[in-house]
Every structure is written in C-alpha cells, then in structure tokens.
Structure 1
Amino acid sequence: MSLLKNFRLGLIHMAVAVSLVPITGILNRIMIHELGILASLVAGLIVLPHLLSPMQVVIGQFSDAHPIAGYRRSPYIALGLLLCVGGAVLTPLAALAMDANFWPGLAFALVAFVIWGLGYNLSVVSYLSLASDLSSEGQRPRTIAVMWFMMISAVIATAIITGRALEHYSPELLVRVFFACGGVALTLGFLGLIGLEPRGQVARAGERHGTRAAIRAVTGNPHARAFFVYLTLLLAAILGQDVLLEPFGAQAFGMSVRETTQLTAVWGGATLLALLLQGFVLSRFLSKKAGAALGASLAALGFFAITLSGLLHMQPLFVPGIAVLGFGTGIATTTNLALMLDMTTPENAGLFIGAWGVADAAARGLGNFTAGVVRDVVSTVLASPMGGYAVVFLLEGLMLCVTLVLLRRIDTAAFRGEQELSMSQLIAVAGDA
C-alpha cells in the first residue's frame, strides 16, 4: 500500500476521533461536575454504544461476502460516518435536556448514544477491514503507525481547539462546538474515503459460508479465545479512565473546563510521541509482543502515579502521570493493533477484525461502566470522592499487570495454523451439505 493510501485511511480514522473527543473529553466532565449527574450513569450512557459491539462480527462477515456496487468496505464506512457524527452532535443536547427534565432527557440521551454507537461500530470494523485488505503483513506496522499518528494528531488538535473555545463555558457554546466538530469529521472522512477502495471486489473463496458457522470457527480456536480475553482486559484497563480523568482533575485540583480538556492534549502528545518511536524505531529492535509488554508496563506506572497524585494532593505528579500513561498507551496501541491484524486470515479479514472489534467495544464498555460504578460506590462508602478515583486508577494499573501474564500465551503462528484447519473443515462440511 502506498503512503498516500495510508494517509487517506488515516483521514477516516481522524474523522471518527474528531467526533469522539468532545464526548469523552468534554461532555463527561460537564455532565459529572457541572450538571451533577452520577458518574455511573454518565459511564452507562458512554458505554451504551459498546453494547452493540457484537454487530461488528456480523458487519465484518457480511461485508466480506456482500460487496455493494463492487465495493466491500466503502459503503459501510460512509453510512457509519454519517450515523457516528449524527449521534455525536445530539449528545450535548441530550445532556442539557437531562438537566432540564431528567426522564425525557434520559430517553433522548439513549437515542443519541445508540445512534452514535451504531455508526461507531459500523465505521470502525469497516475501515480496519479495509486497512487489512490494502496492506501486506510486512506493511502493517507502518500502516498502523501512520493511522494512529494521524488519529492522535486529530485528538490533540481537537482538544486544544475545543478547550480554547470553551474557556468561558455556556450551554449554547457547547452545542456549537459539537456541531463544528461534526462538520470537520464528515469532511475529513469523505476526503479520505472517496476513491480509496478499488472497485470490482467480489467475495473471496471461503467467505460465503454462514455467519454462525464462521463465528464457531473463531470461538473454537483456543489461540483466538486467548487473544480475545487478553485484548479485552488490556483495553478495559487502558480505556477505563476515559470517563473519569477530566472530572478527577476538576474535583481533585479545581481545574477549569479548558484545563481538563487540555489533559487530553497531554495524553495525546505523549501517545503520539510513542507511536512515532514504536512505529519507526523500536519496531526494528523489539518484537510485537515485547513492545506490547513495554507499553502495558509504562501505562501501569502512569496509573500508579495518577493514584498517588490524588491521595497525596500533588498536582505536579498528576500531569506527568497522564503523560506516562499516554506514552505507554501509544506503544501498546501500535503493537497490539499489529498483533490484531496478524490474528486474521486473508479470506476472513472482516470476520476477525469484527471479533477483535467486539473485544475493543466490550472492553470500553466494561472499563468505563465499571470505573463509574466503583467510583460512585467507593466514594459513598468512604465519604471521599478522592478515595473512589484512587481505587479505580489503582485497579486499572493492576489489571495491566495481569495482561503481562496473559500476553505470554499469544501465538499468531499457531493461531493461523489452527484457523486454516478449522476453516477447511467448515468448508468441507458446507460442501457436504
């Protein structure tokens, strides 16, 4: 795959990021701190889209076998982007409606977050499948590095610009910022998408068997199951802070909306540096598994530093902790996504990308919702908000330590060998039928 195509794939990834940052970097803080909504309820809304994650397997398998007008991925990406942005721009209106009239507002919020979730799942599995289609195994580390470099760049830029725009917060300004982000996201996404995928795609051999049978072939592979568990736990730990980091900064250190929004830029800058270092330097010396272990270890250290900053009321330790967390996240992201693409087969890329997408979405849901519930429960029991945050961040660091043990069981070569046998048996059974 050429660098230009890689860049255009990155534009699609940027589009999804631009629609996501205002929700996890601004709206979560507004709902918890300014509007006084329970963290567990906010987390429940944010994870609601991820309850739809099983559809990623269905979408991936369906797009493998059912091109539209000769395109296997592009139509699904386009529809996903429209739904993702449409839902995202409705979320601040829903949050404000909850503050004015809770139950009707909550119903509105459920609709908005479900629309966003449908679009997110549809677009993510489709553009990651397209990345797998267009890149060879040797190109994938570069493909991932470029895509995530561009995504994190978009995260940083969005955080900085929206933070400055909301320096003097008002509900009306919040809504305008979300609509502006939606417009930018659609522009970036369609600039990257149009003309990217070669036309004339047909379903490959082995792709037309039933979805249930193909899913059984995945779940019947012990190496695939081990990777699913590992990936879910890793991402639940790393991503569980999404809903709490900004409210923690506001409650622990009295940070303003602009200041807590800039935390996303700090995290993103460190992640971006790590992506560059891993993609173009460390990948020459470290295997994917070694890089994944390094990333998880650094992210765990970041969580422990953030925990201490709250317990000791040391703001100077808070921001460096976020930077270390971001740096570890960057290395872990690059290496584990490369591992994820290796844990596919050419004939069923969409199905496997869908399965790993389910792990990602399940992890986001599990991590964010559990973090919100634990924060509320522990804060109530200890009569201390800081105690709730500290327990959450400490648990996330410990979860990353557990993934270091699980990582040793991951074997991509054994996965492919066993999957080839499993799929061959499946095709034989289908032929007999």
Structure 2
Amino acid sequence: MSTAPPPLGWAGIVRLGLVQSALGAIVMLASSLLNRIMVVEYAMAAALPAGLVAFHYGVQLSRPKWGHGSDSGWRRTPWIIGGMAVLGGGGLLATLATTQLAGPFWPVFAALVLAYAMIGIGVGAAGTSLLALLAARTAENRRPAAASLTWIMMIVGIVISAGVAGALLDPFSPTRLVQVAAGVVVAAFTVTCAAMWGVEGAPQAEAKRDTAPFGKALRGIWQDPLTRLFSIFVFFSMLAYSMQDLILEPFAGLVFGMTPGQSTSLSGVQHQGVLAGMILVGVGGHAFGGPKGPRNGFGAGMRLKRWIVLGCVASAIALGLLALAARAGPGWPLTINVAALGFANGMFAVAAIGSMLELAGRSGPNGEYRNHEGIRMGVWGAAQAAAFGIGGFVGAFAVDRLRAATGADGPAFEIVFAAESVLFLLAAGIAFRLNDRMVILAGNPAGRQTTAEVAA
C-alpha cells in the first residue's frame, strides 16, 4: 500500500534551490551574455536579441501543458531533468549559432529561432515542474521562506555564472565563447542531476496521481474564480515589473548623464535591493507566518497577501518618484530611488511566488483537480511569460515614440514610469480582491466555492 511522501526538509528545499540556480545560469547565456555578444562583437541590431528573448517568452505560453504532463505521472523529476537537458541544448545551439553571425544570416537566424524555442520549452518544462514539486512537498509554514530561498538562489546563480563567464571570456574569441557556454551548461546540468537525486524517492513510494485530460483540467481550473483572479494579478504585476527592464539604464544615461559603467552599477544596486526585499519576506513570512490561523491551506497565503500589497504599493511609490526624477534631472537621489524600487519589487515578487505555492494545490469549483499543481503553476507561468514578453517591448517602444513626439527625454520617461506606477496600484487592488476570496475559503475547509463565489 502506497503512502504519501513526507514534506521536504530544509535540505530538500535547498536542493531544489540549486536547480533554480542552475536554470538561471543557463538562461543568463541567452538573455544577457549572447545579447551583448550579438550587438557589440557582431554589430547586430539590438532588435535581434530582443526579438529572440521575446520569442522564448512566447514559447513559454506552453507551460500549462508541461505542468499537466508532470501532474500525470508518479514523479516530476524526469520532467525537470529532461527540461534542463533541452534548455542546455538550446543554450549551446544559440551560442554556436551566434559565433556564425559573420557568415550568411538566414541559416544562422533559423538556428537561433530553433535554439530559443528549445530554451523556452526547457524553461517551461523544468521550471514549471520544479515549482509544482515545491508546492506539493513543502509544509505550509515553510512556504514563504522556501519561495524566498529558491528565488534568491536563482539570482545568486545568475550573478555567479555571469561573473565567472564574463571573466573567462577575456580576451574574446568565438572558440572561447563556445567553451565558456559549454562549461556553464555542463556544470548546470550536473548540479541539477545531483540535486534531484532521490528527492522524490522511488515511483512506488506513492500512488500515481489521478489527473483529468489536459483540456478538461485546463477548463475546470480556469473556471475557478481564485485561480483566474490570481492569473490576472500575475499578468498585471509582472507587466508593471518588466516595463522598466530595458529603459532604466538608458534613462540613467540620457537624463542623468551616467556613463555605461555607472548605469550598469545602478542596475546592480537595483538587484541588491531585490535580494534584500526577498530576504525580508522570507524571514518575515516564516517568522511571523507560523502555524497560527486557518488550517485549510490558506493561513500563510493570507499573510503573504499583506506583503504582496505592501510590495506593489511601495513599487508604485518608487516608480512615481522616478517619474519625478525624470522631471528633476541631475541632483535627484537616483541611487536611493532605484534601490527602493528593487527592494519593493523583491518584496512583492517573492510573496507572489509564495502565494503560488499556497494556491497550487487547491481543488476546482466542485472540489476536483486536487492533483494539478503543475497545470496551475503552468497557467501562472504562462501569464508571467506573456507579461515579460509584452512589458519589456512596450516600455522601450513607448519611450522611443514619446521621445520622438515630445522632442525631449525627461517627459518620455516620466510618462512611462507613471504608467508603471498605475499598473502596480491596479495589481495591489487585485491582491485585495484575492484576500477577500481567501477569507471566504478559510471558512470552507473542503476548498469548494460557494454558489455566490462561483457566480462572481
């Protein structure tokens, strides 16, 4: 007779965090390192890497399918390792294709499209299944800290791999680039395999999960008002989060006259703020989110809501101040402003991930679909991918159009930052509605919606 596996201890959570670090290290190749190589060393238009990164986000709209696939078996480990293999292969192919950009363009472009499709598929399969495993096997009172820890480890993995790869690339040559990329991929895949070894145990340790067909499961889950509302929150909050990705450094250069090195350091300050915000929520969410409160899986989720709302409101304020900075120009404490923005972003982002872990195991409107953590994570991951793909493009495009229309830099950035601030306030309002639905469900241990709630 099969038994349910025990919750993950801290050692198991750290091992899953190592997989997140490995995933981030390979993604760094495509989203950061190859971006610079294409534009600087091979003199390609910046639209080429930007379009490829947006395309890989588009491919991640398939996340619900990958999540459902991991829901349907005994274990999620094969999906995680298989996804990392595809991701690593895509990273290597993208690197090899980049080194051929001096030759005929269209064959290389076709290889790059294939490579970034593989990267999108690999991130979708591995990342979604990893989050589903974390949601299913982490005790409720540990989920805020677990979410913080795994995301901090992912950022640390990106920072370390970027620093090591950057140091090893000098002096640059195509051969050296391939060698460095291969080293990153092999190291990341080895870490993934070692970290996943034995985390889930043998397939016979638990019964095979009973899952509905993909189409039926997706329709049923989308009919759940809480899942649907959380998906809308993820989209708008991540849209606001990502719109400044491609414009913050140009803003520092055009409005404040910063050098490339100074603007890069400013970006580093922002990431340090993000890490600090994540640590605060991880420590605070765990220290103050113990076993008290509702015992039906929503106690910590409602506590995390406070961090989400606070982080969204604080992000809105920081972006509003950046809009004022665009008007004030030099003399404004820009570094402090950007650090505050990063801190607020880190608070809301990791609290949102923690809430995902809380909500992933819910049943559908009639109590069904309890074993669909993967497809729920896939739906939310697809919403995030769509927001990131749209947000970065819209932010940069809007600044370009507004600069052309106004003939000035400051007003263009001011309008875009103000629009982002409004989006964060909208996301905070949605988070309040999420809390109302959680309060209803807190008194409903079966996890079923009331007739009035379904009608809403």
Normalising by structure 1, we get a TM-score of 0.83
Question: Structure 1: which amino acid aligns with 2:130?
Answer: Y
Q: Distance in 1 between matches of 2:252 and 2:389?
A: 22
Answer with 74-83 or 285-294: which moved more.
285-294
Instruction: Kindly indicate whether residue 325 of structure 2 is the aligned counterpart of residue 299 of structure 1.
Output: no
- More divergent stretch after superposition (163-172 vs 209-218): 163-172
Q: Does 1:66 align with 2:82?
A: no
Instruction: Quote how far apart the aligned CAs of 1:342 are.
Output: 1.7
Q: Which of 438, 447, 456 in structure 2 is aligned with 1:412?
A: 438
The reply to whether residue 342 of structure 1 matches residue 342 of structure 2 is no
CA distance in 2, matches of 1:264, 1:159: 14
Contact 2:25–2:162 (Cα < 8 Å) also in 1: no
Q: 1:159 to 1:312 in 2, by over 3 A?
A: farther
Unaligned runs of 5+ in 2: 1-7, 290-302, 362-369, 450-456
State the partner residue of 2:342: 326
Task: Tell me the C-alpha RMSD between the 2 structures.
Answer: 3.4
Q: CA deviation at 1:220?
A: 1.0
Residue 43 of structure 1 contacts residue 372 of structure 1 at CA under 8 Å; is this kept in 2?
A: no
Residues 362 and 388 of structure 1, relative CA distance in 2, 3 Å threshold: same
Name 1:123's counterpart in structure 2. Answer: 126
CA positional deviation for 1:329 = 1.9
The structure 1 residue matched to 2:189, chosen from 186, 189, 202, is 186
1:220-245 Cα deviation digits (max 9, x unpaired): 12222111111111012113333444
SS at match of 2:129: helix
- Matching of residue 225 in structure 1 with residue 228 in structure 2: yes
**Residue deviations 1:104-127, cap 9 Å, x none?**
443332122111111110111110
Range that drifts further, 118-127 or 17-26: 17-26
Contact 1:76 1:123 in 2 (8 A): yes
| C-alpha separation in 1, matches of 2:430 and 2:163 | 37
Distance 2:414 2:172 in 1: 28
Contact 1:89 1:182 survives alignment (8 Å): yes
Report the counterpart of residue 270 of structure 2 in structure 1.
267
CA distance in 1, matches of 2:415, 2:101: 29
1:1-80 to 2 correspondences below 5 Å: 1-28=8-35, 31=38, 42-67=49-74, 72-80=75-83
Moved more, 42-51 or 210-219: 42-51
Change (3 A) 1:265 1:140: same
Q: How many pairs align? A: 416
Correspondent of 1:314 among 317, 320, 330: 330
Q: CA deviation at 1:361?
A: 1.5
Residue-by-residue CA offset, 1:117-144 (whole Å, 9 max, x unaligned): 1111011111001111221222211211
Measure how far apart 1:193 and its partner are. 1.5
Shift in CA distance, 247/195, structure 1 to aligned 2, threshold 3 Å:
farther
Whichever residue aligns with residue 266 of structure 1, its letter is: V
Q: Distance in 2 between matches of 1:311 and 1:91?
A: 41
How far apart, in 1, do the equivalents of 2:333 and 2:94 lie? 33
- The DSSP-based 3-state class of the residue aligned with 2:189 is helix
After superposing the two structures, state which structure 1 stretch, 378-387 or 121-130, moved more: 378-387
Please, which of 138, 147, 152 is the counterpart of residue 149 of structure 1? 152
Aligned partners of 1:367, 1:126: CA distance in 2, in Å? 25
Q: CA deviation at 1:192?
A: 1.4
Matched to 1:193, the amino acid is: M
Residue 357 (1) aligns with residue 381 (2): yes
1:378 aligns with 2:433: no
Give the counterpart letter for 2:423 in structure 1: M
Change (3 A) 1:127 1:391: same
Q: Does 1:137 align with 2:140?
A: yes
Paired with 1:291 and 1:124, the residues of 2 have a C-alpha distance of 24
Distance 2:218 2:386 in 1: 17
Q: Which residue in 2 is equivalent to 1:368?
A: 392
Distance across 1 between alignment mates of 2:233 and 2:424: 10
Q: Flag structure 1 segments of 5+ consecutive residues without an equivalent.
A: 423-433
Match of 2:453 in 1: none
CA contact (8 A) 1:149 1:272 kept: yes
Which protein is richer in helix relative to its size? 1
Tell me the equivalent position of 2:109.
106
User: Contact 2:142/2:286 (CA < 8 Å) preserved in 1?
Assistant: no
Please tell me the residue identity of whatever aligns with 2:373: A
Distance 1:45 1:152, change over 3 A: same
Cα 1:92–1:291 shift into 2, 3 Å: same
Name the SS for the 2:433 alignment partner.
Answer: coil
User: Rg larger in 1 or in 2?
Assistant: 2
